[in-house]
Structure 1
């Protein structure tokens, strides 16, 4: 009577099934069936979730519960995988959009700087154009600010990388 429901399913019921198969005793079998139903009812609080009609059925229930547990575990795994995949796709899209915006800003800054430099200094020498094409956003922003009052391309870049 003090046994846990899992003890009954995994240890007691298989032993009783074997014993009753060898020595059928109808009144004892019925008493055990009532006891199992009482255990199940107690575990399910006010309403019985499972009612066992025989000791053999109780023993068979272990296999069914194990199968159900495996199926629910697989369903949970599949749901978790699907959710993880959806979250990964959403995160990837968000990162892609952010990266695309940043790259777009750098491209726009390169174009703006080259336009400003052409207006101020005429044709841009190839080494200066290549340096602009490799520049980071921070470098481009600094060069745009300095282009307003820089006397020459070498002065703008702070070295002789872009001859006048």
Structure 2
């Protein structure tokens, strides 16, 4: 019984790791596309990429093809403190 639980937890842990790895990979590809299109990225864009959900990454990946600016993709940058 305990071995079955451990096996289940290991599979769940592996699946979560794979999901996180996919998200990180998608974010890296999008970062390269954005950099090529708009030049060096400001910190606020990099932060958003680093904390993005899968749905956000999909939306932004499609938007990069036609967007005239980073703000058109991500909205306005946060106000300085």
Q: Distance in 2 between matches of 1:109 and 1:136?
A: 10
Q: How many residues align?
A: 78
- The counterpart of 1:161, out of the listed 43, 53, 77, is 77
Higher-RCO chain (CA-CA 8 Å, sequence separation at least 6): 2
Alpha-carbon RMSD? 1.1
What TM-score, normalized to structure 2?
A: 0.90
Q: Distance in 2 between matches of 1:112 and 1:133?
A: 12
Q: Which runs of 5+ in 1 are unaligned?
A: 1-83
Task: Specify the alignment match of 1:113 in structure 2.
Answer: 30
Q: CA deviation at 1:142?
A: 0.9
Residues 15-164 of structure 1 aligned to structure 2 (within 5 Å): 84-157=1-74, 159-161=75-77
Q: Distance in 1 between matches of 2:55 and 2:3?
A: 34
Q: Distance in 1 between matches of 2:55 and 2:66?
A: 18
Q: Which has the larger radius of gyration?
A: 1
